[in-house]
Structure 1
Amino acid sequence: MKLWEEETPGYESAEERFEPYMKPYLLERNNPGGAVIVLPGGGYQGRADHEGEPVALWLNSIGLSAFVVQYRVAPYRHPYPLLDAQRAIRLVRHHAQEWSIDPERIGILGFSAGGHLAAWASNDHDSGDPEALDPVERQSSRPNASILCYPVISFNEFSHEGSVHNLLGEHPSEAMRRTLSMQHAVKPGTPPAFLWHTSDDGAVPVENSLLYAGALSKHQIPFELHVFPHGRHGLGLAEEEPDASRWTELCEGWLRSIGFMAQAAVTGR
């Protein structure tokens, strides 16, 4: 489903035009339950398939509805990926009753640059515009939890320069680099987070997750962080890495611990 039924903001800003959309993976439930919006990684240049549908199906298997978002990437630049992520959150919240979703249990999950986008949406959100003509825009864009998988966090030291350039252009200012470094964006309204990384990630250094965890700790926001000793960047569900593959089980436990999981029986649809 398209994120915007009418006019997509910024649609004309790139020659290679792309209409952002999301694919729902809904569950039938007796009572409203949680949902997670999935943002695949790809350095703000693409969106990795193995970080999309397989992750949504895993979320379904633990009792959560899921939505895989095909957000805009280069040649679209800042702020359009954020607008897409915010719109996805508002859209799920707007349809919460119809889709049997608890509007206070909407999480966001991202990998690599998608993890940066998930962190960005977790820190740059609003309560909605009550005067908006579009009823979707009246909804809050704040996620209730974030799951950050080997995320890009810093746009300064330890940065993934490909993500920086694809989002901000070839010569971003130091001010923009700092603004988009999510360890500096954490604030009291930032939702709790689950993070995982591998210590030998050769593309996005583990310091990215450590910096974000430190910022969460500073602001007394609950988080859980797991650093596994080995594993290449871009593992997704990490099924080929026995140690890192435990992240899904650990994440499920964390979601239960914060009261995110529904107790009712569910079936897919």
Structure 2
Amino acid sequence: MVTPVAANSQVVINLYDDAVPNSKPSSMEEISTTDDHGVVRISGVTKPTLTAYLPNKKTAHAGKAVIVCPGGGYSILAIGHEGHDVAQAFAAHGIAAFVLQYRLPTDDAMIDKRIGPLQDAQRAIQLVRERADEWGVAQDKIGVVGFSAGGHLASTLCTQHQEPLIDNPEGTSLRPDFALLAYPVISMKEGMTHNGSKKNLLGSNPGAGDVVRFSNEMQVTAATPPTFLMHAADDTVVPIANSEAYLTALKKYGTAARLVRYPSGGHGFGLHNTTTSDKWVDQFLTWLAEQ
């Protein structure tokens, strides 16, 4: 089902046509709040969606597209400044952008909360790839963008695309063609991880196997896509060591990768690091054009 939001520019798409996989009956309701700074947060998602921001056909950039995964520690979605604002910016640059409003891990509404967000990310790229012609997208130019915990989800998709966790009767590739990870949670290892994200995804006492499985710097292979990373060195929420470890793993396989390190900026600044005049989006677009 597709519901128009704004003529010829945005549509909201239900991620699943039928039952949502890995779900169970729940009284949980979706809640959206806006704080005094205008930051929009969504929680309680049980019916995941994609919001498509399609560029003007005159400015469309060779069929490129991105799926945007907002952050929020796997407890909320910072859907505004790490979702819709980002998608609008990419669409303005001629890149189709799809904001993924994914389910947050919870035992209340999921059979296995560890894989719920990943199922939604896999379904998102499956859906965009299978409907690429409809949206003017090239099937081999679909990337993923993730912020903070959304960066963990995006990097999990990049490293665990070979094992479908959703129905995939057409055998559609679930591999992103490129990735942009902004101040991402990468590892579940103590001393490096974001403890809130780890607890929300894996529980209070995860087993060693789960820690390894979801430490994405340990899951990189030759099939992991080219990746652009952005992180501030003074980030005290998600240490820059996360991005550095992922960069090292990618370079081990000779995969194209770049890390933009800002001396300052902290965490969660979205499009605009107010400590610098540099625009990381411009750097990313230049890097992407080189791939």
Deviations 1:90-130 (A, max 9, x none): 0000110111100000000000000010000001113979x
CA distance in 1, matches of 2:254, 2:64: 24
Deviations 1:133-153 (A, max 9, x none): x76x53211100000000001
What's the counterpart of residue 41 of structure 2? Answer: none
Instruction: Tell me the TM-score normalized by structure 2.
Output: 0.82
What's the counterpart of residue 68 of structure 1? Answer: 99
Q: How does 1:45-64 map to 2 (within 5 A)?
A: 45-48=75-78, 49-64=80-95
The structure richer in helix per residue is 1
Q: CA deviation at 1:28?
A: 4.0
Deviations 1:212-266 (A, max 9, x none): 00000111111011110001210100252325x52111001011111xxxxxxxx
May I ask how many residue pairs the two structures share in their alignment? 253
Aligned residues with identical type, % of pairs:
40
CA distance in 2, matches of 1:56, 1:103: 19
Contact map agreement 2:70 2:150 (CA 8 A) in 1: yes
CA distance in 1, matches of 2:244, 2:127: 31
Deviations 1:165-209 (A, max 9, x none): 100111111221111000000001100000010000010000000
Flag structure 2 segments of 5+ consecutive residues without an equivalent. 1-12, 30-45
2:51 to 11, 14, 23: 23
What's the counterpart of residue 108 of structure 1? Answer: 144
What's the counterpart of residue 218 of structure 2? Answer: 184
What's the counterpart of residue 22 of structure 2? Answer: 10
Contact map agreement 2:105 2:114 (CA 8 A) in 1: no
CA distance in 2, matches of 1:240, 1:53: 19
Instruction: Tell me the TM-score normalized by structure 1.
Output: 0.89
CA distance in 2, matches of 1:127, 1:230: 38
1:93 matched to 2:126: no
Structure of higher RCO (CA pairs closer than 8 Å, 6+ residues apart): 1
1:226 to 236, 260, 274: 260
Query: CA, structure 1 residues 90+175, in 2 after alignment: closer, same or farther (shift >3 Å)?
Result: same
CA distance in 1, matches of 2:25, 2:66: 29
Q: How does 1:152-163 map to 2 (within 5 A)?
A: 152-156=185-189, 157-163=191-197
Contact map agreement 1:51 1:236 (CA 8 A) in 2: yes
CA distance in 2, matches of 1:246, 1:184: 30
TM superposition outliers: structure 1 runs of 4+ over 4 Å = none
CA distance in 2, matches of 1:241, 1:14: 43
What's the counterpart of residue 39 of structure 1? Answer: 69
Deviations 1:19-59 (A, max 9, x none): 11110001243785100000000001111021011100110
